[in-house]
Amino acid sequence: MPPQSLESLRLAFKRAFSNYYLQLVSPGIADPTEAFATAEVYLRALKEQLGEVQFYRRLDEVTTDLLGHLEQDLRRPLRERGVSIDREDLEQRLRECLEHGLA
């Protein structure tokens, strides 16, 4: 199996995180396992591509960009569930996920 592109890894992370976040706003227990795992794979590939110094310089920019995309991606599914987006909560959950991916 050929290595996945950085963009496909980013997309996989966005998909896994979105599923996790939708679980969080639903009744029941949310399982972050897939979101954490895909965050780790995506961040490792990004660090490899950028180099360690540049990676840490750009990490906040990457996080902010992801946050904007996730907010846009989740807007409709959340609205359909009668839930409005809490950007602060979304950012906190995203940062937790990325921190776990860095650990």
Structural domain boundaries in the chain? 6-102
The string of pLDDT tens digits covering residues 42-78 is 999 999 999 999 999 999 999 999 999 999 999 999 9
Greatest distance between any 2 Cα atoms in the chain: 42
Give 2's pLDDT tier (boundaries 50, 70, 90): low
- How far, in Å, CA of 53 to CA of 35, rounded? 25
Measured at the CA of 22, the angle between CA 20 and CA 24, to 5 degrees, comes to: 70
CA–CA dist 48, 9 (Å, integer): 13
